[in-house]
């Protein structure tokens, strides 16, 4: 398995893999989706009773939404996860941390959310207790709308987890791949190059001085419209879908950068297969 090309743009990544079998690329997709850990809010404490502001005015700690809905929305807010520390293995699941379930900087991040209406409460209102850079990067996720005299005071705790447990810990989304085809043009059989190029729904071909050429191979979706016999010659174009090259695309929710997601997944897969090999060798 080789990475021929990797392009990262913001939270999105495109990777071209070569010398790879279909089962390997699928194992990468599955592991990428469920094995990359991230921080997510999974524990909240909602203040009940009156909330006072600095001028002594009191607000009712009530909102138009059930507490469970607010808890769910906070759980889905992408929480920044320190990628350097993650790769060094310095972030821990709460159950595995050496703080004995007390909670420390390796296994949790604490936030406060204190707003009074009338206003819309957004993810940017989550204030980390400690490092300011742990503020949610996606700032404009609406949580709840408060009317006059309504207030909300919440203490939220984020822990490390993986997508295997719950979608709130799924850092990678929309992960998909497809083979990069081999397109062969048999120029001696091409009767109508303009027609072949014009019928391609993804604009893969171009015609230059009446010669049919491949313009954008990555755009090909293997529909094989160009292979149709009535498009200007039997066997003028052949598309070979059997390939060991794949284009892989995915995006993250912003809590983990795509490069870290790729590196972590490759490490995790190596570790899994090494363990499997070791277990097999110990069989009698």
Binding mask 181-200 for Zn ion (x = CB under 5 A): --------------------
Applying CB under 5 A, does 15 fall inside the site for Zn ion? Answer: no
Assess 97 for contact with Zn ion (CB under 5 A): yes
Please, which residue, 69 or 99, has the CB nearer to Zn ion?
99
- CB-wise, 104 or 234, nearer to Zn ion? 104
- Residue 73, burial from CB neighbour count under 10 angstroms (0-12, 13-18, 19+): middle
Q: How far is CA 163 from the centre of its chain?
A: 11
Please identify, among the stretches 90-98, 111-119, 222-230, 239-247, the one whose residues bind Zn ion according to the rule CB under 5 A: 90-98
Candidate list 50, 99, 167, 221; residue touching Zn ion; CB under 5 A: 99
* Residues across the chain: 284
Q: How far is the CB of 248 from Zn ion (least distance, A)?
A: 34
CB of 103 to Zn ion, least distance (A): 6
Quote the CA–CA distance of 243 and 266 in Å, as a whole number.
21
How far apart CA 207 and CA 209 sit, in angstroms, is 6
Rounded distance between C-alpha atoms, residue 59 and residue 51, angstroms: 5
DSSP state of 86: H
Q: Which pair of tokens denotes residue 127?
A: 């204030």
Helix H or strand E segment including 276? helix 258-281
Which span sits near Zn ion by CB under 5 A: 49-57, 95-103, 133-141, 221-229? 95-103
Smallest gap from residue 271 Cβ to Zn ion (A): 22
Binding residues for Zn ion, rule: CB under 5 A, are: 97, 99, 104, 106-107
């Amino acid at each position: 398995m080789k990475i021929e090309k990797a392009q990262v743009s913001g939270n999105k990544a495109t990777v071209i893999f070569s010398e790879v079998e279909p089962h390997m690329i699928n194992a990468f997709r599955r592991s990428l989706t469920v094995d990359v850990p991230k921080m997510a809010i999974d524990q909240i404490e909602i203040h009940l009773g009156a909330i006072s502001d600095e001028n002594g005015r009191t607000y009712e700690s009530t909102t138009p939404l059930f507490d469970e809905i607010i808890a769910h929305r906070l759980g889905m807010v992408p929480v920044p996860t320190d990628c350097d520390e993650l790769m060094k293995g310095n972030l821990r699941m709460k159950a595995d941390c050496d703080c004995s379930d007390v909670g420390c900087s390796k296994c949790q991040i604490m936030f406060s959310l204190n707003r009074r209406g009338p206003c819309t409460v957004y993810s940017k209102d989550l204030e980390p207790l400690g490092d300011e850079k742990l503020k949610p990067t996606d700032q404009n996720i609406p949580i709840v709308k408060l009317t006059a005299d309504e207030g909300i005071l919440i203490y939220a705790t984020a822990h490390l987890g993986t997508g295997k447990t719950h979608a709130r810990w799924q850092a990678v989304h929309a992960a998909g791949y497809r083979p990069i085809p081999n397109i062969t043009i048999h120029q001696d059989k091409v009767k109508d190059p303009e027609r072949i190029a014009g019928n391609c729904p993804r604009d893969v071909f171009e015609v230059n001085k009446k010669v049919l050429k491949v313009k954008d191979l990555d755009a090909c979706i293997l529909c094989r419209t160009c292979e149709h016999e009535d498009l200007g010659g039997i066997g003028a174009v052949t598309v070979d879908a059997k390939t060991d090259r794949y284009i892989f695309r995915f995006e993250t929710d912003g809590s983990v950068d795509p490069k870290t997601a790729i590196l972590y997944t490759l490490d995790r897969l190596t570790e899994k297969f090494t363990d499997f090999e070791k277990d097999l060798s110990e069989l009698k």
